[in-house]
């Protein structure tokens, strides 16, 4: 394997606990472990000028300032950041420039560099359908009349102009083929498991007292359960509530912003859901270890068909099975790792309740899957595995 100088330009805010920074940093770290020289460009959370540099796990992280609020910064349209990034990299040597999205601070930074360094290759990471039919449909009127049309154009332009495209799903894979009118230089790379930060433990009761979870309950954790997720999957939570009322010791643990009293009253939410709020990443693995199982239920819309659910990597790292319906990439995931999944039929409340009861009644047998899942996470699903896939893809770009 030939070693390369690699730049990953990210729209993320450094250390912001979301999928964008996590993906870019973990891929960077994995590439560095393979011996590549890796620089990660990101946005600084706070004031710095012209940039701030640190070396972390073999990755040179360079963070740049931006004006405006974090809400503005996260869109990746800072002209200041684009200018400073371009000035910083223009005289340096990179073989590969990887944009983690199509936004200016990521893709245009890489594209501008290539104008002066023709032999370098630009890779675009396509993570979701941002344009019409996708995220664009849910944006505000202000977005649709200002940056929206530019963003829609740039999404397609980046896929056409990039030397290679990384996608997260079969839906995006098919779209990329149509846009590029070619099957060449496109690969699918899912998210991975942070097995360094999320440690597997067989004892699901070890840390429960920290989060007020009864050690006798069958705890199902749903990370990032928002109000919209609740409404989209109300049948699931209603079923669990009724099973609990029948005497089953079953409970949902959810992270994220706490539901308001009004929302709880409107949807008749009781003690079948335990809220732990936002959990610091240093305690995140401890929370996940409290689960008997995780849950991931999705409705079949374009966003769920096109994206990769990042929490799967966390769930697998924790070594617990995932209760899920099969939508989008979850179909392929179930084929690849059937021992990680507990599939349910959520077409009716009767079928769903039957499947949840079956899972509950077989909890002792299900627990035997835990070490198998954890081994799979380490050997086949870690970010290091994903970085090897990405490194191999880079070498195919001519």
Q: Tell me the pLDDT tens digit for each residue of 244-297.
A: 999 999 999 999 889 999 999 999 999 899 999 999 989 999 999 999 999 999
Q: How confident is the model at residue 2 (pLDDT cuts 50, 70, 90)?
A: confident
Q: How is the beta sheet containing 186-188 ordered, strand by strand?
A: 52-56, 59-64, 37-43, 5-13, 96-99, 121-126, 164-167, 186-188
Residue 198 has pLDDT above 70, yes or no: yes
Pairing status of strand 37-43 against strand 52-56:
unpaired
Q: Tell me the pLDDT tens digit for each residue of 143-176.
A: 999 999 999 999 999 999 999 999 999 999 999 9
Q: How confident is the model at residue 1 (pLDDT cuts 50, 70, 90)?
A: low
d(CA 142, CA 353): 43
d(CA 7, CA 125): 13
d(CA 190, CA 290): 25
Rounded to the nearest 10 degrees, the angle between the axes of helix 170-180 and helix 147-161 is 80
Residue 99 has pLDDT above 90, yes or no: yes
pLDDT of 68 reads 65
DSSP letters along 82-129, please? HHHHHHHHTTS--SEEEESSSSIIIIIHHHHHHHH-TTSEEEEEE-S-
CB of 251 closer than 8 Å to CB of 219: yes
In Å, how far are 6, 87, 113, 114, 258 from 92, measured between CA atoms?
11, 10, 9, 12, 46
Q: How confident is the model at residue 229 (pLDDT cuts 50, 70, 90)?
A: confident
What domains are defined for the chain?
5-191+383-396 (3.40.50.2000), 208-380 (3.40.50.2000)
Radius of gyration, CA atoms only, the chain:
22
d(CA 286, CA 276): 12
pLDDT of 73 reads 66
Cβ atoms < 10 Å from Cβ of 180: 16
Three-class secondary structure of residue 12 per DSSP: strand
Nearest to 373 by CA among 288, 278, 297: 288
| Strands (E) located in the chain | 5-13, 37-43, 52-56, 59-64, 96-99, 121-126, 164-167, 186-188, 218-222, 250-255, 273-277, 293-296, 322-324, 341-343
The sign of the dihedral angle between the CA atoms of 356, 357, 360, 362 is negative
Residue 17 has pLDDT above 90, yes or no: no
Three-class secondary structure of residue 395 per DSSP: helix
CB of 108 closer than 8 Å to CB of 27: no
- Paired tokens of 238: 């209603």
d(CA 292, CA 201): 11
Mean pLDDT of 342-355: 93
pLDDT of 72 reads 62
Q: How confident is the model at residue 48 (pLDDT cuts 50, 70, 90)?
A: confident
pLDDT of 70 reads 61
Mean pLDDT lowest for which of 53-57, 190-194, 221-225?
221-225
CB of 155 closer than 8 Å to CB of 102: yes
pLDDT of 121 reads 97
d(CA 90, CA 289): 45
In Å, how far are 118, 221, 250 from 136, measured between CA atoms?
33, 30, 38
pLDDT of 239 reads 93
Place of tokens 């990370």: 223
What mean pLDDT is reported for the chain? 93
Residue 45 has pLDDT above 90, yes or no: no
CB of 219 closer than 8 Å to CB of 292: yes
pLDDT of 66 reads 79
Mean pLDDT of 105-126: 96
Mean pLDDT of 326-336: 95
Alpha helices in 246-369, H assignment, sequence order = 261-266, 281-288, 302-306, 311-318, 330-336, 349-361, 363-367
Number of H helices, E strands in the chain: 18, 14
pLDDT of 398 reads 76
pLDDT of 388 reads 97
Three-class secondary structure of residue 80 per DSSP: helix
pLDDT of 196 reads 93
CB of 189 closer than 8 Å to CB of 166: yes
Supply φ then ψ for residue 97, to 5 degrees.
-120, 120
């Amino acid at each position: 394997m030939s070693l390369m100088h690699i730049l990953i330009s990210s729209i993320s805010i450094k250390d912001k606990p979301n999928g964008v920074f996590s993906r870019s940093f973990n891929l960077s770290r994995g590439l560095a472990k393979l011996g590549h020289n890796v620089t990660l460009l990101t946005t600084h959370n706070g004031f710095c000028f012209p940039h701030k540099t640190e070396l972390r796990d073999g990755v040179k992280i360079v963070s740049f300032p931006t004006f405006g609020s974090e809400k503005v910064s996260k869109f990746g349209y800072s002209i200041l950041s684009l200018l400073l990034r371009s000035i910083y990299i223009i005289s340096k040597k990179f073989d590969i420039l990887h944009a983690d999205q199509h936004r200016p601070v990521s893709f245009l930074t890489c594209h501008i560099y290539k104008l002066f360094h023709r032999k370098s290759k630009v890779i675009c990471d396509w993570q979701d359908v941002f344009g019409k039919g996708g995220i664009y449909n849910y944006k505000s009127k202000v977005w649709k009349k200002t940056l929206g049309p530019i963003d829609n154009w740039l999404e397609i332009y980046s896929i056409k102009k990039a030397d290679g495209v990384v996608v997260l799903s079969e839906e995006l894979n098919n779209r990329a083929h149509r846009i590029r009118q070619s099957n060449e230089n496109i690969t699918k790379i899912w998210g991975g498991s942070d097995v360094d930060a999320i440690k597997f433990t067989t004892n699901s009761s070890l840390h429960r007292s920290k989060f007020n979870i009864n050690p006798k309950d069958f705890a199902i954790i749903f990370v990032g359960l928002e109000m919209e997720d609740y409404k989209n999957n109300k049948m699931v939570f209603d079923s669990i509530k009724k099973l609990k009322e029948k005497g089953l010791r079953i409970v949902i643990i959810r992270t994220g912003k706490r539901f308001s009293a009004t929302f709880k009253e409107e949807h008749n939410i009781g003690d079948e859901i335990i809220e732990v709020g936002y959990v610091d990443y240093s305690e995140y693995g401890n929370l996940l270890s409290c689960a008997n199982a995780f849950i991931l239920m999705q409705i079949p819309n374009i966003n769920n068909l096109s994206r990769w659910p990042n929490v799967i990597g966390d769930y697998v790292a924790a070594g617990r099975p995932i209760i899920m319906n099969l939508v989008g990439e979850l179909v392929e995931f179930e084929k690849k790792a059937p021992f990680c999944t507990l599939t349910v039929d959520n077409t009716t409340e009767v079928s769903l309740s039957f499947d949840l009861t079956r899972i509950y009644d077989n909890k002792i047998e299900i627990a035997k899957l835990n070490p198998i899942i954890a081994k799979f996470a380490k050997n086949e699903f870690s970010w290091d595995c994903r970085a090897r896939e990405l490194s191999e893809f880079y070498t195919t770009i001519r």
